Amino acid sequence: MNIIKNLNIKVSNPDTKDFLADAYYPETDRPLPLIIFVHGYKGYKDWGAWNLMAEKFAQARFFFVTFNFSHNGTTIEDPHNFADLNAFGNNNYSKELSDLSAVVDYFIKDPKVDAQKVILIGHSRGGGISIIKTCEDERINGLITLASVDSLERFPKKEALEHWKKEGVYYVTNGRTKQEMPHFYQFYEDFEKNIHRFDVERSMEMAMAHILIIHGTDDESVNVKNAEHLHILNPNSELFLIENADHTFGAKEPWTEEGLPEYLNIVTEKCIEFLNSKFLQGIKKE
């Protein structure tokens, strides 16, 4: 099967700024279910083995999109590095939801896409964003969370919060790049202003979609209890736990192997099986 890779597509969002997206899909005359992958905190579309995961979804007859949030710290010119730390510091949940809307709007119009089959796959913080978007947007009828948070209220404790407000910025060290990543206080102000909209628990309860929750039992960043909680909030969801898998399911940056790491391959195969059962029943393979 011939897989098309349309890389570094420029997507415009007048409410934020331009950013890049990639599309992977097989050559076919049929419209394909659209999957949009939503990266997490300190993530980006070219991180680790996400591209190999995208190719495997395309081989399974999906139109798979990855993208960079406009304020994730990467740039149009340098999508592989955190070259714009000022943009990173000015990121917030409102901007991420706006960017995700722009991605859906852009790709749902593609003639190769079946606009009645739109799925979000969100990793880590991107899972929380995807849950909210699924609740807000009736076009989304499939949701898969990978190592997702069950709340976006992940801020410093009271004393540190007051210091953040006074200083206007606090920094988090990126363990891989050793960069000091800034977070401007506007991030918290945006959360407080939209606290009801950003309620992941409420959104999960109200989400009207086919939902699969995937988590590793050895996740060092987001405890597996987050996945169990999300499943309780929406009992119609399916919960799939992977024993011994970590937060990125064995992937790392850079990923130099030719194939997917074992756990991420399990994730991908489970997602494809789930989506086939919900969206491709009765469709013969080409």
- 130 lies in some domain: yes
- 217 lies in some domain: yes
Provide the residue count of the chain: 286
Antiparallel, parallel or unpaired: β 3-11 and 32-38: unpaired
Antiparallel, parallel or unpaired: β 238-242 and 210-216: parallel
- 26 lies in some domain: yes
3-state DSSP helix/strand/coil % of the chain, to nearest 5: 35, 25, 45
- 12 lies in some domain: yes
Domain enclosing residue 135, as ranges: 3-151+201-279
* Per-residue pLDDT reduced to its tens digit, 201-220: 999 999 999 999 999 999 99
- 41 lies in some domain: yes
- 187 lies in some domain: no
* Per-residue pLDDT reduced to its tens digit, 141-192: 999 999 999 999 999 999 999 999 999 999 999 999 999 999 999 999 999 9
Nearest to 242 by CA among 267, 221, 225: 267
pLDDT band at 119 (very low <50, low <70, confident <90, very high): very high
Question: Which residue has tokens 């969206």?
Answer: 279
The number of domains in the chain is 1
Per-residue pLDDT at 281: 56
Beta bridge partners of 26: 3
